[in-house]
Homo-oligomer: A and B are copies of this chain.
């Protein structure tokens, strides 16, 4: 993101970095991904546009940098069982994707969907953390003896994140239940799918 070059000259002011990130997050929350503008971020942050474009190649990178910061996720503490671990992880993922995260992430994916390099960067930054959490949870289950095998990391990851994303985006308004109920049901179904012989 930032240029690694920092030989001579005045160093970057970290207060500017924070001001950009904070302003971006505020405006994402207020106006959403579609409604954010670089000029508005600069004005809100009290900085010049050049300071933004010195750090990020464009609006997408700026938003990405601000958004992923809200989406940092860590493996949940061991809950004692696969079902409880999955429920905890699902709750974490759901929280990280909640407003304004999900639409922002979606807008980003849509915006960069024809830019393979940018897509890869987003994937690597955001998805890899989730993937590592999934791997940790499955490892624990294997160590407990709950699982002797599983269908692979990617399907489990997809079955965990995909339904949550879909529910938040589209099904929330259809469903009669709330997010907690959905997440619990999801963890339950996923546990069955993995532990069924």
The answer to whether A113 touches B106 (Cβ under 8 A) is: yes
Query: Assuming the A-B contacts A158-B182, A166-B158, are A174 and B123 also in contact, with contact meaning beta carbons closer than 8 angstroms in the complex?
Result: yes
> For this complex, into which size category does the number of interface residues on chain A fall?
35 or more
Majority secondary structure, A binding face = helix
| Interface-side segment among A11-19, A29-37, A74-82, A141-149 | A29-37
The answer to whether A159 touches B163 (Cβ under 8 A) is: yes
Closest-by-CB residue of B relative to A192 is B196
Contact with B along A157-197 (1 / 0, CB 8 A): 11101111111011101110100001001101110111110
In the complex, how many angstroms separate the beta carbon of A114 from the nearest chain B beta carbon? Answer: 4
13 contacts between A and B (CB under 8 A): A33-B110, A34-B112, A35-B114, A103-B110, A103-B113, A106-B107, A109-B110, A119-B173, A154-B182, A158-B166, A159-B162, A162-B164, A165-B165
A106-B113, A108-B110 given; 15 more Cβ-contact pairs under 8 Å: A32-B113, A34-B114, A151-B185, A151-B189, A154-B174, A154-B182, A158-B171, A159-B189, A162-B164, A162-B167, A163-B163, A165-B166, A189-B193, A193-B196, A196-B196
4 closest residue pairs by CB, A with B? A162-B162, A107-B110, A162-B166, A103-B113
